[in-house]
Copies of this chain bind each other. A is one copy, B any other.
Amino acid sequence: MTGTVVPKNPDFEARTRESFARQGVMGLLGAVLERVEPGLVQIALPFRQELSQQHGFFHAGVLATIADSAAGYAAFTLFPADAAVLTIEYKINLMAAADGERLTAVGRVLRTGRTLTVCQFDVHVEKQGRVTHCATGIETLIALVGRAGVRD
């Protein structure tokens, strides 16, 4: 593997935004794609009761859903135009309760190769102007080329 932050596809941003728009679950949650840069993607999510766990905080799974998408699309920005992205695995540490009005997940590419890409993600929660680093994780993605039905 060799590291790089030069996108192989000059249309990476349009392609990322178009793929994000097809993720049904992002619409269901109300997630917003805020930043799309080479090797970096940021997704935000305002709180509502339907996103909660039993104590009224954001459910860890909801938080992980936007973190996974942020990491996956961060990898995707560096892929060639004919490659799709799939998550192989990730690990997440929930360091503080996700108690607040708004989550922000940032995914960053740590290392990208022909087949595999490793990303880090960090999630912050905002409550009445105070920002807390509530989760961090590492995710491995695979670039798939030429798989029918798996476009991007």
Let me know if A6 is at the binding interface, CB within 8 A: no
Of the listed residues A49, A53, A87, A96, the one surrounded by the most CB atoms of chain B closer than 10 A to its CB is: A53
CA distance A117 to B80 in the complex (A): 25
Let me know if A150 is at the binding interface, CB within 8 A: yes
Interface string of A123-151 (1 = CB under 8 A from B): 00000000001001110101000000111
Docked-complex contact B93 and A25, CB < 8 angstroms: no
Residues in B with CB closer than 8 Å to A151 are 54-55
Docked-complex contact B94 and A87, CB < 8 angstroms: yes
Docked-complex contact A118 and B90, CB < 8 angstroms: no
Docked-complex contact A89 and B86, CB < 8 angstroms: no
Chain A, range 16-56, C-beta contacts under 8 Å to B? 19-20, 22-25, 27-28, 49-56
**Pick from B24, B27, B52: contact of A25, CB under 8 Å:** B52
What are 22 A-B pairs with beta-carbon distances under 8 A? A1-B96, A20-B54, A24-B51, A24-B52, A24-B53, A28-B28, A54-B152, A55-B149, A59-B65, A60-B68, A61-B66, A61-B68, A65-B65, A88-B140, A90-B91, A91-B92, A91-B138, A93-B110, A93-B140, A110-B133, A115-B142, A140-B140
Interface residue ranges, A against B (CB under 8 Å): 1, 3, 19-20, 22-25, 27-28, 49-56, 59-62, 64-69, 84, 86-97, 110-111, 115-116, 118, 120, 133, 136-138, 140, 142, 149-152
